[in-house]
Amino acid sequence: MTDTAAQASRRRTFAVIAHPDAGKSTLTEALALHAHMIAEAGAVHGKAGRKSTVSDWMDMEKDRGISIASSALQFEYAPEGDAAAAENPYVINLVDTPGHADFSEDTYRVLMAVDAAVMLIDAAKGLEPQTLQLFRVCKARGLPIVTVINKWDRPGREPLELVDEIVTEIGLQPTPLYWPVGEAGDFRGLARVSADGEVDEYVHFLRTAGGAHISPEEHYSPDAALEREDGAWERAVEEAELLAADGAVHDQDLFEACETSPLIFASAMLNFGVHQILDTLCALAPAPSARESDPAAVEAATSAMDSEREVDDEFSGVVFKVQAGMDRRHRDTLAFMRVVSGEFDRGMQVTHAQSGRSFSTKYALTVFGRTRETVETAYPGDIVGLVNAGALAPGDTIYSGRAVQYPPMPQFAPEHFRTLRAKSLGKYKQFRKALEQLDAEGVVQILRNDARGEAAPVMAAVGPMQFEVMQARMENEYNVETVTDPIPYSVARRTDAGSVEGLNRQRGVECFTRTDGELIALFGDKWKLAFIEREHPEFTLEPLVAD
């Protein structure tokens, strides 16, 4: 095994996905706490002066208590009792994602850059619409999923009922690794389930003040657990063994095929079951592996282009997110890149696949919330922030040596549209700069045409909260107050130059150019679109959907 391949084998790169308010950011914080990256969890619940989590650094996130932007955290972790990991710890690359449906495009990009996902489910609410949508994306990408039933310290549903819902609704078979002792709202500990489906240990948790610190654990044999917990232990063993008898036991091949999912019950707020999640990811989640190139790019290449990169090939990476405003002192822009193959060294000369231009990676960082550290070397699976790499956009490939280009990240079909303009004409220069940077990040899609001009472009978004983020960031980061106005459109289609003139003559239709050069036609409603398609089959009208 080469040094690069050995380094890749230590990496575990995963995203946390869930419906809003399922506890994603709280879990992210708890995982960092158990890796000893922070002294105490940022979310100290139940206190008036509660802190915000490290991963939620934007003002709107702190005010609303939700994740708006994805956040990448990296830390080392060694499972207890793992002598090899104590000498050479695992490197965890954890990406906390927005849960709100309005920011599903950001979550989709993250899922293109990770090797596994933690699906967080609220014990009281079970599967919710956003969870179902994100699961389908994971399934389509072949991402293995670890399922965590969170908030078991609060009243909720029966554990077997939750398992049955997962099987019925999404066809994913949970395989319990840690089953709860005590019903929802009376979380005493976890019954550990062995590889053959037998319950072999009881892990009892002790509470800490506000859940701000790692919860001490007491470990008991099954006989000692029965004496201590009596009926609660008997019930846990009976339920776990019932599932095992029905075939719900862990199989690594089925897990990696996204057919089964290791199941853990936890309380991120109290730090119960958190290190069990980390241990499971280290033991079972796949390490970085080879990635195929974009077939269209390979076919169109004028010279030889790699059709695949193994982890120990020459360096290549994929940009999955661009973020400005993380450091107000410098007003810089960070391009978050997932290293796909080879060794990344700060200052190395790389090529931007989309433009063919070469540039130096002089400023490269690892990012922990808003905290930054210069990174000298990174390996497959690592997330690196490239500073002021203005030419890079989500989905772009950079590489050294032989050419490679990975599949692009498609944009979602927008459903909400508003114009945006600066409240003061004297702020127009700052407005243009802010618009350019936030458009590059993908906060919204920006549409322009000659009739509306540059001063009042159209924002296109998956959900209306994206407009609020756009305005808030313009004001807070660029000191530009803005005004938005609704426009009478609700459906978008991709079109071509030959159709634009004819479409613009139709009532209730307007054509625009998106920043990436795509021609977009907006329609008042789906009935108007259906009428145009029926009456003018010569027009090119294609859906804007993610692959």
Which amino acids are annotated as binding site for GTP, given as ranges? 96-100
Count CB-CB contacts under 10 A for residue 7.
Answer: 24
Helices (H), ranges, 409-464: 428-441
Adjacent-strand bridge partners of 107: none
Supply the DSSP symbol for 246.
Answer: T
The span from the CA of 293 to the CA of 341, in Å, is: 12
The span from the CA of 172 to the CA of 168, in Å, is: 8
The span from the CA of 362 to the CA of 353, in Å, is: 18
Nearest Cα residue to 319 out of 399, 376, 373:
399
Per the CB < 8 A criterion, the answer to whether 138 and 15 are in contact is no
Amino acid (1-letter code) at residue 365: L
- CA-based angle 38:26:20, to the nearest 5? 155
Count CB-CB contacts under 10 A for residue 252.
Answer: 14
Per the CB < 8 A criterion, the answer to whether 286 and 115 are in contact is yes
Q: How far apart are the first and last CA of the chain?
A: 35
Burial class (CB in 10 A: 0-12, 13-18, 19+), 261: buried
The span from the CA of 386 to the CA of 72, in Å, is: 13
Nearest Cα residue to 103 out of 43, 60, 144:
60
Nearest Cα residue to 250 out of 303, 213, 196:
196
CA atoms within 13 A on the CB side of 272: 33
Integer CA distances (angstroms), 530 to 202, 499, 523, 535, in order:
61, 16, 10, 9
Q: How would you classify residue 355: left for phi > 0, otherwise alpha for psi between -120 and 50, otherwise beta? A: alpha
Supply the DSSP symbol for 348.
Answer: -
Residues 6+ apart with CB under 8 A from 392: 319, 322, 335, 337, 352, 386, 398
Helix (H, G, I), strand (E, B) or coil at 285: coil
Nearest Cα residue to 447 out of 492, 481, 482:
492
The span from the CA of 111 to the CA of 258, in Å, is: 14
Q: List residues forming the annotated binding site.
A: 96-100
Amino acid (1-letter code) at residue 538: E
Nearest Cα residue to 14 out of 381, 294, 544:
381
Adjacent-strand bridge partners of 445: 460
